[in-house]
Amino acid sequence: MNKNVIYIEPEDDITDVITKIENSKEKIVALVPPKKAGVFRSVVNIKLIAKVGTTAEKTIVLVTTDPSIIKLAAATRLPVTKDLQTAPSIPTMESEAEEAAKSEVVTVEDTSNTEPEEEKAEEKEEGSNDEDDTESGKPEAKEDTEDDSKAEKEDDKEEDAKPKQKKSKANGIADWVKSHKKLTIFGSIGIVALILLLVWAFVIAPAVEITVWIQTENKSFSENVSFTTNLSDEKADEGKFYLEEKKIESVQEVKFEATGQKNLGEKATGEVEVVATVSYRGGTKVINVGDLFTINGLSYAADNGVTMHYDGDDDSVCANVDEKLTYEEFKSQGCRIYAKVKVTATAPGTAYNISAADTGWNTTADVAVYSKSPMSGGTDNIITVVQQSDVLKAKEQLTAANESENKAKLLETVGDGLIAIDSSFEQTTADVTVTPAVDEEVKDGVTPVVKATTTAKIFVIDKTKVEQFITEKANLSDDQKIYEINNPFVENFVKSDGGYIGKLKTSYSVGPKVTDKEVLEMAKGKGIGDIQHDLKEISGVVSVETKTSYPWVMTVPNDTNKIKVDVKIRDK
């Protein structure tokens, strides 16, 4: 069966190795690690390689003689061969243990064999001396005694000479020190400086910065929640949050242009004649003061009231009596009553000066109207005034012009521990004053102003309680934690029975639970390479960077004040 041989580069990581396995078209994949392949030093990575082989239905074989890699392969039952020509086999932990045990036994045996031989040699020497003493005769013993006494005398002479020799040496050193006083002083200072330098270099100066890069996963959060304006009703752990109201008040004003016009001229006056028809048996028609008479869009009001009456007997009041009507015609047509009414135009202006007109008049009363003489006396005197529509438009401008500004000022009062519900923002105006007032003249050089008290308000909720609620709902495993919650916000905020409802939304990043304190405890007193290896063994840690204060620092200090830890998130 064909096999695919993959040579792993030193810079390849576990993702690269897995990709190469998955891309292989052969069922047997031989992985040849380099001499320094950190990716094969982790039992987690070896397990991942074994797992991808099972998933991809491929047989993975490690081509190596590295004992540490073989040991990890034995733990995951991954086949190993020393070269591409040798049949692979699954290594066992027992074989390695036996080899280790043998090496220990050899060491013990070598030590035990050495010590008895030395002891035997000593005993042999002592025994030989004893035998010599026993076998030698008395004359020899006498010689030995004489020799010993001579040796003792010589030793005594040497001992007597030693103090003199020591004294002369001491005097010589003293003389040298006296003659080389400056050299002695500077030498002593140099030794002290060297000691201080070594203390500084290996005790005071060493410091280490450890940067741990972790990989996180972004997740979205969306949950229906409710709100209350009564603090005692809050149940944050159940998603019911207390609404605190923030508000600011300010007096705002806006200038506007008056567009109203008012005619202060004289009103035209005149007279109209009215004719009313009543029953031949009698009737009455009344024109009240203020009744309007209109023609061509111009209105005139009655200055005086008029009552027209026919009692059924005095036909002289009937305007149509001169028409020589027969009784039957009179009975059919009725009596036409005639009257004159003084009128005044409802507004000043020359436009109300009109000619006499027999037709075109209208009135609210049930009479016919015509004028036998013109309306006259109207004059023009046009001035600019503030009208109500100007005020309404100015109020809208007041709200629109300051709403964003007031909202920004209001949000500045919201601290970092609070979340503002943007859609709850509301602004109202009160105590509105207009200068000049409505319908008043705006004189030359005067700009009308609308002034009002503006109240801007917004609801806020406790950020800490919101984040605790999000963390609980995330339901993380014990070895994970949330590293960042990205600006929680509330949408669809509306009033409901007894409070408010809305949807709490955000996104958060989840990663391995690695804290600065944990890294500090792991790093104290360890070698730089060892702590890098140990931290990389943590699931989710993608890389570890160490920076020492000086090149000779190879060990992390035990003093936590000299260890700086920074846990960072690696961008995807």
**Residues 461 and 560 occupy one common structural domain:** yes
Beta carbons of 276 and 336 less than 8 angstroms apart: yes
**Residues 350 and 479 occupy one common structural domain:** no
Please give the full DSSP string across 402-451, using - where no structure is assigned. Answer: HHHHHHHHHHHTS-TTEEE-GGG-EEEEEEEEEESPBT-B--TT---EEE
Q: What pLDDT does 480 receive? A: 87
Note whether residue 126 is domain-resident: no
Note whether residue 193 is domain-resident: no
Measured CA angle at 541 (ends 538, 546), to 5 deg = 105
Decide which of 345, 380, 415 is a domain's last residue.
Answer: 380
Q: What pLDDT does 562 receive? A: 78
**Residues 465 and 556 occupy one common structural domain:** yes
Note whether residue 194 is domain-resident: no
Decide which of 91, 110, 130 is a domain's last residue.
Answer: 91
Give the separation between CA 487 and CA 419, rounded to whole angstroms: 8
Residue 444: partners with Cβ closer than 8 Å, 6 or more residues away:
none
**Residues 55 and 142 occupy one common structural domain:** no
Note whether residue 321 is domain-resident: yes
Query: In the chain, how many domains are there?
Result: 4
**Residues 278 and 324 occupy one common structural domain:** yes
**Residues 324 and 411 occupy one common structural domain:** no
The range of the structural domain enclosing residue 61 comes to 3-91
pLDDT digit string, tens, across residues 221-263: 999 999 999 999 999 999 999 999 999 888 888 888 898 888 8
**Residues 396 and 513 occupy one common structural domain:** yes
In 281-386, beta strands by DSSP E: 283-287, 292-295, 298-302, 306-310, 335-345, 362-363, 368-370, 382-385
CATH of the domain at 23: 3.30.750
Note whether residue 181 is domain-resident: no
C-alpha distances in angstroms, 187 versus 173, 175, 199, 299, 374? 15, 17, 18, 125, 135
pTM as predicted? 0.44
Beta carbons of 213 and 570 less than 8 angstroms apart: yes
Note whether residue 158 is domain-resident: yes
Note whether residue 356 is domain-resident: yes
Residue 417: partners with Cβ closer than 8 Å, 6 or more residues away:
462, 463, 464
**Residues 546 and 415 occupy one common structural domain:** yes
Note whether residue 303 is domain-resident: yes
- What are the average pLDDT values for consecutive 10-residue runs of the chain, which has 572 residues? 81 86 87 81 87 86 88 88 86 54 38 40 42 41 43 50 53 63 71 66 68 87 94 93 92 87 92 88 88 94 90 81 77 85 94 92 88 94 91 80 83 90 88 88 90 90 94 87 91 90 93 82 82 81 81 77 83 66
Q: Which residues pair with 551 in a beta bridge?
A: none
Decide which of 156, 171, 186 is a domain's last residue.
Answer: 171
Tell how far CA 301 is from the center of its chain: 72
**Residues 52 and 86 occupy one common structural domain:** yes
**Residues 277 and 252 occupy one common structural domain:** no
Give the separation between CA 62 and CA 29, rounded to whole angstroms: 9
**Residues 325 and 430 occupy one common structural domain:** no
Give the separation between CA 215 and CA 85, rounded to whole angstroms: 40
Q: What pLDDT does 563 receive? A: 85
**Residues 331 and 360 occupy one common structural domain:** yes
